[in-house]
Every structure is written in C-alpha cells, then in structure tokens.
Structure 1
Amino acid sequence: MKEERAAAPDERSLKELSCLGANELYQRLDTGLDGLTSNQVKERKAKYGSNTIEPKKKESQWLKFLKNFTSLMAILLWFGGAIAFFFTDTPQLGIAIWLVNVINGLFSYFQESRASKATEALKKMLPSYARVIREGKEEQILAEELVPGDVLLIEEGDRISADARVIQATDLQVNQSALTGESNPIRKNDEVQSGKGMGNFELKNMIFAGTTVSNGSARAVVSQIGMQTEFGKIADLTQSLGEEKSPLQMELDKLTKQISVIAILIGVVFFFAAIFFVHQPVAQGFIFALGMIVAFIPEGLLPTVTLSLAMAVQRMAKEHALVKKLSSVETLGATSVICSDKTGTLTQNEMTVCYAWTASKEYQVGGLGYAPQGTITVNGQQTTGDQDPELAWLLRAASLCSNARVLPPDDENPRYRVLGDPTEACLNVVAQKAGLDLAAMVKENPRLRELPFDSSRKRMTTIHNLTMPLAEATRVSFTKGAPKEMAALCTKICVAGTIRAITSEDQAKIMQANDHYAEQGLRVLAVAYRDLGQVANLPKGFSQYTPELIEQDMIFMGLMVMADPPREEVAAAVQKCHDAHIRIIMVTGDYGLTAVSIAKRIGIVQGANPRVITGLELANISDEELKTALGDEVVFARVAPEQKYRVVSLLQDLGNVVAVTGDGVNDAPALKKADIGVAMGITGTDVAKESADMILTDDNFASIVRAVEEGRAVYKNIQKFLLYIFNSNMSEAVPSAAFLLSRAAIPLPLTVMQILAIDLGTDMIPALGLGVEEPEEGIMTRPPRTKKDALLTKGIIFKAFFWYGLMGSVVAMGAYFYTMAQRGATIGNLPSVGVTYREATTMTLGAIIFTQIGAVWNCRTERSSVFTVGPFKNKVINVGIVFEMALFCLLSYVPLFQDVFQTAPLGVKEWLFLLLCPVPIVAIEEVRKAYSRRQASKRRQTK
C-alpha cells in the first residue's frame, strides 16, 4: 500500500502566503535567511516525501501485451491458422501458424518492455537540479530533494521545481505557459499582496513548479512540493500528450502493409495455380498458398527495429549522448547539416581571462581554468589590485557585474565547478588572482538592482551602493557586454585614472584592440560604469530603472579578454563530418572574428575567406539571399534567437535534415524547430534540455558525430534484416514454383510445415542479431540518406532475390536432386511419399538453413569483408546459428517432429554436403565485395 505523505504547510491558501512579509513568511514556514539545517531537511523529507510528480497512469500492461498480437500481419496469420486448424486435415499446420504469431508477439512485447526500461533508466541519468541556501551556504541539489522551507535561488533559464514565495527579485519574469497557456512572460516581484479577488496564478509574488525563468533572478522560499504544487494538481493534463510516430515508424507501417498485400497476392496466385495448373484439391491448394503467404511475411521486422534502436540508444549513452526517445535515433542518421554553437560544444568551456586591456595598459593574466592561482603582469612586471588602482577598479566592476560563482573542489567533486555562466565565473577568478576579496566586495558594495543580459542588446548591468578610490559616487551602475555596442554607448573614457570625453580615436583604438584579440579566437567583453549620483530626474524606485534609462552616457573602463580553447577531439570529429558529407555551420552569439578564428582552427571552414553574416546583416537580407549564402561556407555571428530559428527553417526548406546544438533559453526555439535538437547536459539550462531530443552529458561536439554514426548504423541494420529475410523467401518460393511449373512432376521439395519451421525458428534469432550490429567501417564516408530514401530499395530487392536468394535457391534445389539421385530416383520418376522423399525434403530444408548461415555473415557488412569485422564477433548471431542447427537436428531426428514436418534422418554424406553449403555463399560474396571496394578506391583516386 502506498504511504500517505503530509501536505505542505498552508497548502490550502497560497494567497495567505502572498500577504506575509519576509520575516512572517520565515516564521510561518519555520525557516530563515540562512535556509534549513540538515536535521530540518531530514525531518521534512520524511514527512513530505520527495519533490516528484507521480506519472500519469500508464497503459495497462495487458493492453500493451495484446497489441503485439493484433497487427495486420498477425490478424492475417490468426485467420489463416484458424482455417488450417478447423477446415483441413492438417491441424498441426494451424498450430504452427499460430505459434509463429505467439512467438513473434512475445518477442515484440519483450523487446518493447526492454526498450522502455532502458529509456526510463536513461531519463534518470538526466536529473534536474536546484540551487538552495542551507545552513548559510549555497548548494546545488537534485530538484527532487527540495522540501518546504528551502530557500531557493533561481535565474534566467532555470526550470522552477516547486511552488515558492518570492522574497527577493531582480527584474524577474516567468513563463507560466505550461500551467496557464499564456505565452507571454509574467513579471514577478517580492512585494506583499492582499490576494483578494485574484487567482493563484495571478499572484505576483508566487512562482510555480513546471514554469521557467525567462528573465532576471530571485530568491524564494519553497511552500509546496510534488503533487501538492499547482503543477501536480493538473499533472494528468500536462502528461496527456501522446508520442507522435517518427518517419521511420510511419515508413515501417507503410512497408508492413505493402508486404502484407504482396504476400496475399502471391498466395492468391499460388492458390489458383495449384488448383487449375496442378489440379490439387481446394483444401490442399489453400494450405499451399498459406505457406507462401507466411513465407513472405517478415514476422521479426518490428522486434528487430525495436531491438536495433534500443541497442543504439544504449551504445550512445556510453558515448555521452542520451536520446530522450527511440525514434530520434534514425533521424540522427539522416542528418545533413549541424548548426553548432561555439562555447562549450566546440571549445572546452574552461573560460579563462588571459588579458585585461585599458586605454593605457595591457595586463597579461597567467593560470588556466577556474583555479584562483595565477599572476597578473604589465610589461613583464607582476602587479596586484593593491598596487594598481586602475586594474582594481576594472576587475571590481567586472566581478560585481556577475551572477556566477566558482565552487572549490570537495570530496565528491575533485574539480572547480561553476554555478552560472562560465564567462562571468572567470571574471571572479581573475579578481582573486589580483588579490581582491570577493566576499568583502559583495558585502561592502550591495547590489540594488540588476538589468539582466539580453541577447538582443548584448549586455548586462548591475546597480550598487559603493565608494571607490576613483569615484565619489554612492550609487553606480556597472555594465559589461559586446565591445562595439558598449563603445557606442560611452561618452567618456578612463585613461590612467583620469576621466575625459571619449574621442573617435579612442573608439577606433578600442575596436582595433578588440579585433586584434578576436582574430586570435579570443572572446572580448567591454566594461563600463556610470555615476548615477550625477544623473538628474532618476526615478526613486529601483524597479523603474530600465536599460534605456541606465545604459547611456557611460564611462568606458576597459576590455576583459578571455580564451576558451577548442576541445582536442573536435578537429577529428569535424573532419569526420566532412568525410560523411555533413555540413557544419557555426551559429554563435560571439564576435565574428572570434568565431571565424575558431572555425578555421578546427576545420569547420576550409576556405580562405568564408562569409561572416552578423545578426545585423541577417536582419536586412531576404530569405532567397540567405538561401544562396547557405550554399557556401558561412559563419553566423552575433545572432539573436529568432535569427537562429530562421537559419534552421531555411536549411530545412532546402531539403536538409538539421541538427542544432544549444544550451541557453535563447536556443530553445531553434532546438524545437530542428529535426534533432541537441542540448548540453552540463551547461545547458532546463529550458534547453526540455526542448531538445538529445542531451550531451559531456557537452562535446564529438559525441554528436558518434551519435550520427549510430543513427546511420540503425538504418543500415534494418536494411540488413530485410535483405536477410527476403533472400530466404526466395529459397522458400523456388521449390514451390518448381512444383507448380512441372505440374507436380517434381514433388514439392519443401513442405508448408518446413517453410514455417524456417520462419518460426531458424531465421528469427540470426535476423535479430543483424539489428545489433555495430557501425560498419566506412559508414561515415558516405553521404547521408535523403528524406525520400525508402527502407526497401531496388538494390535490396535485387540483391535479396537475384543474388543471395538465387544462390540459396540453386544450392537448395541441388541438395534436393542430389539426395534423390543418391537414392536412385530419376527425373520423371521422383517419389512424392516415403523415406526417399522425406530425406530429399529434409535436405532442401537443411540446405536453406545452412545457406542462411552464410547469408547472415554476408549481410553483416555492405562493403567490408566479414573477416575484418570478425565472423564470430556478433554474439546474438552466433547464438542464432547454434540454435538453428540444433533445431534442424530436432526436426530431423526426433520421431514426433519427423511426422509433423515430414523429415528423416540424414547420413554422413548429406551432412558433409550441408556443412559445405555456407562456403560458396560466403566466398562468392567476398569476391563481389572485394571487387566493389577496388572500384570505389579507383573512383576516389580519379577524383
């Protein structure tokens, strides 16, 4: 019985909490400014349980189970088996046909359940986190560990994990569309409200689980968790969306129907041929036709697809790529364009300040990463903030205009960790290298208001009370952002401690320095301040401060120059994409020269003069002009979210399958629009992860390339399965055709029950083994498939029926006539009953089984030799081969099976014949593959 949990405090009235001041709220929820103690957390966890939403009641397992027995093919087989069981004298045939359905359905259910469990396990590897204050310290915890009374810290991009009362807010805006359907962000504040005549979602000082932070930051006290939240109360509605079928699933449905129709038509042809050409009784003709129908239905297709996708997902998870649903895997394989951002994906995301630049000096900063160890030098001489007031003023301004925190190593995390934006974190680190006390700075210079970073204006501002050596003001705004935009907003400049009017020469010097650094692939931020004490007619309330009001007439201080070097493995991954005919387009919010420098260094662009399109230029060109530009090497820089969305849309209009990487709130539209949205698991915001189809747990571009390779392998594996199944269909059909065309002069070389034995037992496991094949060498040197490409191609049909199938048919019929000849039978006098006939049909059955052993080895690779990948490397296929040989022995030597399947024991000569059957099948195909490889090599050399 499920344990009942207590409701959180004041569950019945959020309005009551909205009426309380901060101190009263702390008292009501038994918490404080320093958050909860560890004992309080344990007590509340025991009392209220985990902060989780109970999933919607899942579909009955019985219904899921029964669905595997009611597909079009299954219904056809149920019907055919019933006719054979009740209306003919061969009830064993009906039982065998039903067994085909039962085994196929059980296996399908098993694989779906296994895949479902695998994806659920992967989802657990993607926990949501929350930042809280506990015992006076900031911590990052799992969102499910939140309890009522926790002091919660939120900022732009966070997903809110519990209902909470805001106690301190800075320009906070929340998207409540998941709860209310209202798409516009709602402004929130920390002011006490009466709540009269207002709905819960109208309360401006309450935030709710399931919503996301669009702008700003806040501190709030958790009031409700889990099913007691407003989101929990309407969880059934939010969880009611069904999953849409992927293109592969729709194509499989179409393929299944087509094959079923073809199988029925073949059965009808064989039925009438048996009656009117061979003059068989209607009942026998029906059984004969039914065998053909069963032979041409690929019973293991759907289980193989599920298994192939599930195994690919598991392999991708080991390579740091977590796929949220199975159907996304095959889309990855068709990817033709990857729109990648730069920071963290192509680079190491270890942002480090390497230069600080002012109009009078350039400071060199030593030390990499987030460790505060390092030195700052000017002209080779070491300096600190105490020795250089201009440096101290610049670094103080940059670090105060920051929301990030760097956490030192501990027992669980051996490396420095960042809470927030890495770009902001490195500003704190360089301040520490200069000897500045961050905690003292924050305490002495309290922040009054924040104007958060916005991707359209490309800057962020904070407002403080402070006293500085170079300024008498008590209220100052600090702004950091893109150098070009910042320089245009500054009317003064600080040069060696002196403030004067900025000139055009100064601005040119600033941009010259910026370009110099950007050309080296370095990121540059400009820092400026404004003395608000000297500004007349400022509003009294901080909430009325706006970017337009504050971010003007500023004093330029300097540039902060930072490096985020490319990841070591990215260059090889990029080259792999080029080899695979996959384009990579960098779409970044960074400066154009920086983006091009990185793109050249890692090989994304290979021409001398790639086109750089900035957000400003992008806003002024037409869709047709942009489509033309997308045909050449191009880098997009300084782009806004809606512009990234536009680039993705136009690429799709051009027929591309587009993958997009992103980590921020501003990336969400493009991630949703893309065929495959790829979010960063480490630095990605909750909004980005929710919008994406795949999450990289290592934030590494190389993981995307490995995932594409797996996606291509999945599609190829399904085609390998079809090739294998259809070539055995040919071997099964030719003996029946020989019987019909000879007007029964050639007694049926393969009985209907023996056909069922192949489909029911011997073919199934090896075919499934093809679904777990690893990517073949060279798979990433071919162009991606197009959206128009079909699973069942003309090439597969030709190879299945007129290459593998023809070889298998020749061997099978050869085995039949060989046995007849060994027993003294001659053409025109072939027995249709008795031991000789049984031995001959047993040999036909055995020859098909053993040629299929060779065929499954051949199907494992398209061009490579099976001996280069290891003929015994695939364990599932090995088990399948052993199983089909054991089953053949049972059918041949156990009297009960001999009577049912019309088989007989074989002698030593016959066994030697069968054991040699795979040899020519493999040898001939190896010759063909070697010739194919040689021709491909010649074509590459002539290009």
Structure 2
Amino acid sequence: MKNEKETRRKFATDPVPDLMTDLHTTSTGLTQKEAADRLEKYGENVITREKQQSQLLIFLKNFTSVMAILLWVSGFVAILSGTLELGIAIWLVNIINGVFSYWQEHEAQKATDSLMKMLPAYTQVYRDGKLQQINATKMVPGDVFNLQAGNAVPVDARLIKATSVQVDQSALTGESVPESKKVAFDAGQGEFAESNLVYAGTTVGAGTATAVAFATGMNTEFGRIAALTQQQKPSLSPLQLELNRLTKQISLIAIGLGLVFFVSAIFFVHYPVAQSFIFALGMIVAFIPEGLLPTVTLSLAQGVQRMAKKHALLKDLNSVETLGETTVICSDKTGTLTQNQMTVDHIWTPAHSFTVTGQGFVNNGQIQLDGKPIKYGTDADLDLLIRLVAFNNDTEVEPSKGSARPKILGTPTEASLVILAQKSGIDTKAYSIKYPRLKELPFDSDRKRMTTIHQHDDHTLSICTKGSLSDLLPHCDTIQENGKVRSLTEDDKKAIDDANRKYASLGLRSIATAYREVPQETDKEKQLDGLTIDTAETNLTFVGLAIMSDPPRPEIYEAIKKCHRASIKIIMVTGDSSLTAKSVAVKIGLTFDKARVVTGGELDSMSKEDLKKALAGEIIFARVAPEQKYKIVSTLQEMGEIVASTGDGVNDAPALKKADIGVAMGVTGTDVAKDAADMILTDDNFASIVAAIEEGRTVYSNIQKFLIYILNSNLPEAVPSALFLFSRGAIPLPLTVMQILTVDLGTDMMPALGLGSEKAEPGIMDKPPRARDAHLMSKTVLWKAFAWYGLIASIISSGAYFFVNHLNGWPLKGLATSGNTYVMATTMTLAAIIFCQIAAAMNCRTENASVFKAGLFANKLVWFGIVFEIFLLALLSYTPFLQELFHTGPLAPTDWIFLAIIPIPLFLIEEGRKWLNRRRLAAKKVDVVD
C-alpha cells in the first residue's frame, strides 16, 4: 500500500511535461496506432474477474457437506433395511437441498459484474489530435480526455486543465462533501484527497476539465478495491459451523449406539451377523434426524421472508441466524447513520440567530426566529443572505417524482442553499431574471470562495461572495446589522468567530456570505473585465453564516438504544473528518464525548495489539481508506467478535465481504456494495438492521425449539429396539424401521416448520448475543429432548404397545410376534409417539413463557402441522396399500379416544414446569436487585 501511495504521489507532484514524457504522450493525446498498441499491452479498461472454480465443482460441493453425507448414508441404510421407497425419498430431500443451495450461491456472486456496470459507456478522448467519442473500455494510459459536470470518471487521471471542478468521491471515501479539484498539487486531508488527481468510479459534480490517464482497469484504485474484494474467500457462517458440529455429534451418538446394538444382538439375542448388522442400522436410522436439514433450510427461508417485509433482503439463508449472533456493527456514517443530504440548520447574522426546520433535499420546512416562522421580506439581514446564496449558486434541484429523491444537478452543499431559499418563500427563478448574472469568479480550493456579479439596477452592480469564513472575513471591512452597514470592528470579528466555533464544535459546517455594490460604469464590458478576484473580492460587507449538516436519520436514535440494550457495540467507520464524525456519534447517542477518535493515518501506524486494545474501548474511526475498513473488521473477528459491516460505497465492498454479515444500503448504495453484502436494506433505514437482528435471534431460538422437538422422538424410536435387544428377543420389535422413518420424515416435519415461524419471546433484545462457545445442542436442549419430553414419550408409547397386547391376552399368553395383534401393537406405538409429539409441538413453542400468554392458537402453522400429523396417521392406518408398506392396521374409535387424551396432561405438566421456572427466575432478579 505504501508503494501505491508513493506512485500516486509521484503522478500528482511531477510537472505536467515530465508526466507526459513518462506516459509517452502529448497534450493532444495519442495516435490511433499508439492507443491500439497500448490496448494490447494493458488490456481493456474493465474490471476483470479472478479465475472461477468450475460450475460443476461448485454444484457438487453442495452435496458433500457433513449433513448431506449423513443423509446419503441414511438413504443407503433405509434401502439396506428393505425400505427402498423411503431411502429414495431421503436422497430426493438431499438433492432438492443441494440444488437450492447452489441456486442461492449462484445468485449472490455478482459483485465484480456490478463494478463494470459503474464505468461510463463513452468518453471524449483526443486521438490523432482530434476529440473523439470512444467506448470507455478502450481507454489506455496516456489518453488525454475531457470531463464535465455529470460525467463519471472512467480512469485514474491527472488534471492538466480545470475550471471550477468538484468531484463526488463518496463512493471511494464515504465523505459526503465533494472534493474541489485543480491543476496545481495540494495533498489535501485523508485518502484520495490529492487536488489534481481524479479516480475511476467517481463523478464530476461541477466544472470542466482535461486530464491524462495514468491507470486503467484493474490498475486503478477502483480496480484495486475490486481485487481486494475478490481475494476475500467466503467462509462458513456460524450456523453452518454449528450444524456441522451438531451433525457430527448426532452421527457419533448414532454410530456408537449402532455398534453397541450390533455387538449385543450377536451375543445377547444370538442373531446372525448379517441380521445383527441390519438391526444395528435400524438403530442408526432412529437416531439420525433426517428431517433436520430441510427443516432448518425452510425455517431460514421463512426468516428471510419475514425480514423482507421489514425492508431487509438477505441473499444467503444462513445470514439470518448470523445476524442474531452479531456483537459489533461497523457502520459507515454518510448515508447510513445520516441521510447524505446536506441541510441548512441555522442562519447566523450579527443581529439574530435563526433556526431552519425540515431536513434533506425537500423544502418542507421553514425559517424560524425565537420559535416563530419568519418569511422573506421580514428581516433585512436575512433577506440579503437568502438572495446571496440564491444568486451565488450553480446548482439546480429538480422536484422529486413520487417517493424518489429530488435530483441534484450540482453539489449537495449548494443544493442545501437552494432549498434554504425555497423555504424562505422567494421565487429564485424570478429573482434570477430580475438580477441577471453577468460574470462568475469560480470557486477554487486555494481561496475557498466563489463570487458572482449581477445587474442590480440600471446604475448598480452587485458582487455576491460566499466561502469559508476564515478565507472570506479578511476581505471584509464593513458589516450589515439590522439593515444598516457600518465598519467591521475587532469585537465584531470575535463575535463572528465565536459563533462559528460554537457551530463547528457541534460538527456543523458554515458558509460565510458577503457582498459589495459598485456603480455601473458607462463601458460595462470593460468594467466587468476589470472585476477580477483581486479587485472584486475586496472591501466586502459581511452579512452572515449559513450553517449546515448532514442530518442523522430520524429512526437512528431508538435503533442505537436497542443495540445498546442488546449489548451490541456500534463503531463508526467513516471517511469524514474527525470533528464531524465525533459530533455525529455523540449527537445520536452512539458513544460519549470522551470516546477516542482514530484517523486513517494513525491506524496505519498502529500495531495489531494496539488496535485490539483500542477496539476494546469506545472508539470512532475517521478519514479511513478501504483497506483500513477491511483491517478493522478482520481484527475484530480475530478478537472473537461476530461483525456486521454496513456501507453503501465502492470503498465498503471489501469490508462488507469480509464481515460475518455485510449490510448494504438499497437506495443510495452502489451496485458493488449491494452485491458484496449479505443483506440489503431496501429503505436505507438503520432501524431495519435492528429489526433484522431481532429476527435473527428469534430464528436461532426457533431452531433450538424444533431441534428439541425433532430429537425428543429419537428416544421413543430407540427404546423399542432396546426392549427387543435386552429381552433377548422375547419382546418383538414394537416399532419397525419404516415406522421410525415415518416419524422422522413425515409427522415431525410440519409441526417443526410451524415452530420455525414462532414469534420472538418478550425480552429477546434485552439479552446479550449468545456466546461463541454456546451450541445448538446444549445441556438444556439434551435434557428437554431426552430426559424430559423423550422419556415421557418413551414410557407412553411403550405402554401403548403392551396395552394392545394386554387386550389380546398378554401376559397370560406371549407377546404377539406377527399377525393382526402385532400389527395393531406397532401401530399404536407409532400413534402414541405421534400424539406425544403433538404435546411436544405445543410445549416447544415457548422456552419459559406460558403458551396461553403467547396465544394458544396464535401459531396457525403449528396447528396445521398437528392436523397434518393426525391426517397422515389416519392415512397410514386405513389405506390398504400404505398398511402393507408401513406395517400398520386400522385404529378403532376407542384407540382414537385414548390417543386424544395423551397430549392434555403432557401439555399441562409442562405449563406447570414453566410457571415454576418463571418464579425461580423472578426470584433471582429480586435477589440481584437487593
């Protein structure tokens, strides 16, 4: 990076003749032959993509994850167990999931394509000494080309001619204020601030220029950022890692139990080895939750749909849950925390201080004095200042169409002054006709002033000047107060300076205004020629200050409070100045006024350990470059943080892609930022991030809920096999492998999906993010799934098996090993498990809150799942073809009555346990308070 900065500095500081010599070009550009030779050498002016993995390999990797492999094995086990149909069904589930994952990934990878779209299509270039319009992709180093207001800059270039040029570099720097550009070198402040260099991907806001290209395509700063974005390889999300871990855990348990049952079947039951192996495979099938992966996938998809309704679009399903784990948000300021619309907030004149209401580029506000509206024509000093900013202005604001932002033809700063004039009630077009502009002395970064000369009346010319206070005030010798002009005293200067400092301390920018009226001479043309910078901008009368800011988003205050309550740290990372960044951060409650501000220059010199120490406290980053945002995000990740990075510009793309979750602005964001991000805010509302985080936390909670639900059926599925085994075959298998898979892939699925749509429990955003070492299959999950829900279901379902045999003569005669009694016994075992699952589905809806408080019938999907379970059981019981396939028989009305009673006590017992747990937690809180 250091060498790149040195090279850039050389292009900026070398005399133009030396630069032309180094680039082997002239002021009239290249010849067609030279351009063709260089095009062959340097390549087209495009953003190239790194070599991509073959689509076949990308497609196949979606079928080789840990869970996918486990599903392939499950299908194979099912086929070996003699259940070809369900084995094929399991494989089909795997294929559907793999295809869906591939489609999601394919749609998400578009960042570099968008970089190309940002480059302009055509540029005015000198070839063979003539100005020609060529495709920007054909530009080469050494090309001399023209720029004007509204043009996108196609290459990195050095200005050789410039008139009042201002360039919007926010896409590169994130700074909302346009940079003034000129031919003479000035280092400026911050990255990309050289006064005579322009960069690809930026936009000319005002003025005209001629420049010579020194870098094209991937050699531009724009291309370097694209390369940095491409180098960032996608990593597994926390949820993917956790699901892989969970799958390995379940696999070890299933295989371990399978081995135990395999050995036991040989030595206890004296089964042949082949039959023992099939029996053990049945146990493995019982403990593999085949429905887990599709259930998780569909639950995440539901989360994506709910977030879309809250203006947050997610491109990767796993990002839903990652949001819930977020511990740090690295947020850009401009366009993210603020509106990216410069707005005049105050007007200061020697006599009065006015406030201006209404924010942004819409004139839906008013000027107030002491809280009361004041219109143009009421105060002489205010009237004059309004006229000055209206006259001394090259920007137009086109009215908005519908909900779209008004179009700005010029700079945001001047646009805010146009809006101010509109708020005052004057007709700017009428005044421009009444007082026509005769001459302009354009703004430049040396004198930091702009002057326009107007026809005041038949005998007078008006000289109107605006600019920075420090550069304009020395040229004033009088001041207007209450409509009267008098000499400017030292006390006046101190009062003006004190007012400016007060506003600056709040992070506000000021524009000073002044004027002078001169008698019109007989030879007006000669007089105008004589009004140069030295003669016109002198002996001015100071009028006042227009104070402006980029206002915070209205919703940002409450959003930040929610983040703080949720123990989520927000770090501002901006290209703006330290003073502005800190004042905005303090104003919106992001941090306190003693927070440390680190600039890009300081960040460059900081060691990794120093940066980690700084990140542990309250910190703001200002004047940072793209690589530095990337460095901040990666360092936070090394510290164990789950990082969300927000942004809207090209400069944000590397950090967005590196972050655990990248959040781009949908309205003001560049295509690069949108495609590099995981989530796009369609309303550019920071509050939508908070809503998405809440949804992410809810999704994780819901995954744990249906994990408990899915796992709790594993124990009653396994107990029948254990009974068979440890009775040495005296107890026939109470549940067949086909019936086990019926629960795993049939009756479990629909209620689990309903649990995935459960609303957040109260207080979910008042807790810190879950710890990195917390796992989906926690001790609590295991206890509830196996020692509570699973154990109860095992007792009831096994009891159902023996109850049917009892009705048919057991224990006086042996347990049925075949025939109608055996079929009905296994059917009742399956039915009892299903009805225990009905109670579990209701119980799993909340962790501690009462289901009655959450709404007994509030989750319609859960109830739909329950109805589906009962319908599927009836279908298996009464359909001859399915009876034969699943080894089931028809249930009698008395059986249905028995089954219908099962969920009621299970539900009420769990409600009692939750009530006791709520009382215990409440008592703990009281003890903490005491």
Q: TM-score, normalised by structure 2?
A: 0.70
Which residue of the partner structure matches residue 308 of structure 1?
299
Q: What is the Cα deviation at residue 703 of structure 1?
A: 0.9
Q: 1:611 aligns with which of 564, 579, 594?
A: 594
Which residue of the partner structure matches residue 822 of structure 1?
807
Q: 1:736 aligns with which of 717, 721, 724?
A: 721
Q: 1:101 aligns with which of 59, 67, 91?
A: 91
For residues 853 and 512 of structure 1, the distance between their equivalents in structure 2, rounded to whole angstroms, comes to 73
Which residue of the partner structure matches residue 425 of structure 1?
415
| CA pair 490-746 structure 1, distance change in 2 beyond 3 A | farther
Which residue of the partner structure matches residue 536 of structure 1?
none
Which residue of the partner structure matches residue 769 of structure 1?
754
Which residue of the partner structure matches residue 181 of structure 1?
none
Contact 1:340/1:662, CA 8 A, preserved across alignment? yes
SS at match of 2:202: strand
Which residue of the partner structure matches residue 920 of structure 1?
905
Contact 2:388/2:465, CA 8 A, preserved across alignment? no
Q: 1:496 aligns with which of 479, 482, 498?
A: 479
5 Å-filtered alignment, 1:62-101, equals: 92-101=82-91
Contact 1:371/1:416, CA 8 A, preserved across alignment? yes
Contact 2:165/2:209, CA 8 A, preserved across alignment? no
For residues 383 and 517 of structure 1, the distance between their equivalents in structure 2, rounded to whole angstroms, comes to 24
Q: What is the Cα deviation at residue 847 of structure 1?
A: 0.8
Which residue of the partner structure matches residue 212 of structure 1?
201
Deviations 1:354-390 (A, max 9, x none): 4222556545557665455877688999686999689
Q: What letter is aligned with 2:796?
A: V
Deviations 1:726-758 (A, max 9, x none): 111112112212222222232222122221222
Q: 2:692 aligns with which of 707, 712, 735?
A: 707
For residues 316 and 766 of structure 1, the distance between their equivalents in structure 2, rounded to whole angstroms, comes to 22
Deviations 1:659-717 (A, max 9, x none): 34444566667656654443333344556546544332322221111011111122223
Q: What letter is aligned with 1:867?
A: F
5 Å-filtered alignment, 1:804-823, equals: 804-823=789-808
5 Å-filtered alignment, 1:376-415, equals: 392=384, 396=388, 405-410=396-401, 412-413=402-403
For residues 640 and 510 of structure 1, the distance between their equivalents in structure 2, rounded to whole angstroms, comes to 32
Q: What letter is aligned with 2:347?
A: A
For residues 669 and 722 of structure 1, the distance between their equivalents in structure 2, rounded to whole angstroms, comes to 35
SS at match of 2:729: coil
Q: What letter is aligned with 1:430?
A: L
Q: What is the Cα deviation at residue 153 of structure 1?
A: 7.2
| CA pair 692-905 structure 1, distance change in 2 beyond 3 A | closer
Which residue of the partner structure matches residue 273 of structure 1?
264
5 Å-filtered alignment, 1:365-764, equals: 365=356, 370-372=361-363, 392=384, 396=388, 405-410=396-401, 412-413=402-403, 416=406, 418=408, 423-432=413-422, 433=424, 435=426, 437=428, 444-446=438-440, 451=445, 461=448, 479-480=467-468, 487=470, 495-496=478-479, 509-510=495-496, 512-514=498-500, 516-517=502-503, 523-527=508-512, 558-562=544-548, 569-585=555-571, 589=576, 599=586, 604=590, 610-614=593-597, 619=602, 634=618, 636=620, 640=624, 652=637, 654-663=639-648, 671=656, 674-684=659-669, 688-689=673-674, 692-764=677-749
Deviations 1:853-902 (A, max 9, x none): 22122223222233333444445444433333222223222333333333
| CA pair 123-252 structure 1, distance change in 2 beyond 3 A | farther
Are positions 1:835 and 2:820 aligned together?
Answer: yes
| CA pair 269-371 structure 1, distance change in 2 beyond 3 A | closer
| CA pair 850-429 structure 1, distance change in 2 beyond 3 A | same
For residues 319 and 918 of structure 1, the distance between their equivalents in structure 2, rounded to whole angstroms, comes to 36
For residues 782 and 931 of structure 1, the distance between their equivalents in structure 2, rounded to whole angstroms, comes to 21
Q: What letter is aligned with 2:307?
A: M
Are positions 1:326 and 2:326 aligned together?
Answer: no
Deviations 1:30-53 (A, max 9, x none): xxxxxxxxxxxxxxxxxxxxxx99
Q: What is the Cα deviation at residue 348 of structure 1?
A: 6.2
Shifted more, 613-622 versus 572-581: the winner is 613-622
Deviations 1:276-300 (A, max 9, x none): 1121222321221111111222223
Contact 1:216/1:451, CA 8 A, preserved across alignment? no
For residues 392 and 937 of structure 1, the distance between their equivalents in structure 2, rounded to whole angstroms, comes to 66
CA RMSD of aligned residues (A): 6.0
Which residue of the partner structure matches residue 893 of structure 2?
908
Q: What is the Cα deviation at residue 270 of structure 1?
A: 1.2
Contact 2:392/2:452, CA 8 A, preserved across alignment? no
Are positions 1:356 and 2:347 aligned together?
Answer: yes
| CA pair 713-668 structure 1, distance change in 2 beyond 3 A | same
Q: What letter is aligned with 1:929?
A: K
Which residue of the partner structure matches residue 3 of structure 2?
none
Q: 2:881 aligns with which of 896, 899, 904?
A: 896
For residues 471 and 440 of structure 2, the distance between their equivalents in structure 1, rounded to whole angstroms, comes to 28
How many pairs were matched up? 814
Which residue of the partner structure matches residue 251 of structure 1?
242
Q: What letter is aligned with 2:304?
A: V
SS at match of 1:496: strand
Which residue of the partner structure matches residue 796 of structure 1?
781
Shifted more, 902-911 versus 368-377: the winner is 368-377
Deviations 1:381-432 (A, max 9, x none): 96869996897578746985776x422144x458755567655422222244
SS at match of 1:561: strand
Which residue of the partner structure matches residue 917 of structure 2?
932
Shifted more, 325-334 versus 676-685: the winner is 676-685
| CA pair 904-522 structure 1, distance change in 2 beyond 3 A | same
For residues 404 and 63 of structure 2, the distance between their equivalents in structure 1, rounded to whole angstroms, comes to 53
For residues 779 and 926 of structure 1, the distance between their equivalents in structure 2, rounded to whole angstroms, comes to 20
Q: TM-score, normalised by structure 1?
A: 0.69
Deviations 1:293-346 (A, max 9, x none): 112222233323332333222222221223343333322111223344566555
| CA pair 774-324 structure 1, distance change in 2 beyond 3 A | same
Q: What is the Cα deviation at residue 434 of structure 1?
A: 7.7
For residues 675 and 78 of structure 1, the distance between their equivalents in structure 2, rounded to whole angstroms, comes to 30
Contact 1:385/1:436, CA 8 A, preserved across alignment? no
For residues 77 and 329 of structure 1, the distance between their equivalents in structure 2, rounded to whole angstroms, comes to 24
Contact 2:323/2:661, CA 8 A, preserved across alignment? yes
Q: What letter is aligned with 1:294?
A: V
Q: What letter is aligned with 2:274?
A: A
Contact 1:340/1:661, CA 8 A, preserved across alignment? yes
For residues 858 and 851 of structure 2, the distance between their equivalents in structure 1, rounded to whole angstroms, comes to 10
SS at match of 1:578: helix
Shifted more, 166-175 versus 925-934: the winner is 166-175
Which residue of the partner structure matches residue 194 of structure 1?
none
Contact 2:377/2:383, CA 8 A, preserved across alignment? yes
Q: What letter is aligned with 2:565?
A: D
Contact 1:174/1:188, CA 8 A, preserved across alignment? no
Q: What is the Cα deviation at residue 844 of structure 1?
A: 0.9
Q: What is the Cα deviation at residue 247 of structure 1?
A: 3.0
Question: Where does the alignment leave 5 or more consecutive residues of structure 1 unmatched?
Answer: 1-14, 26-51, 134-145, 179-186, 191-204, 222-227, 453-459, 481-485, 532-550
| CA pair 599-506 structure 1, distance change in 2 beyond 3 A | same
For residues 398 and 667 of structure 1, the distance between their equivalents in structure 2, rounded to whole angstroms, comes to 35
Q: What is the Cα deviation at residue 826 of structure 1?
A: 1.6
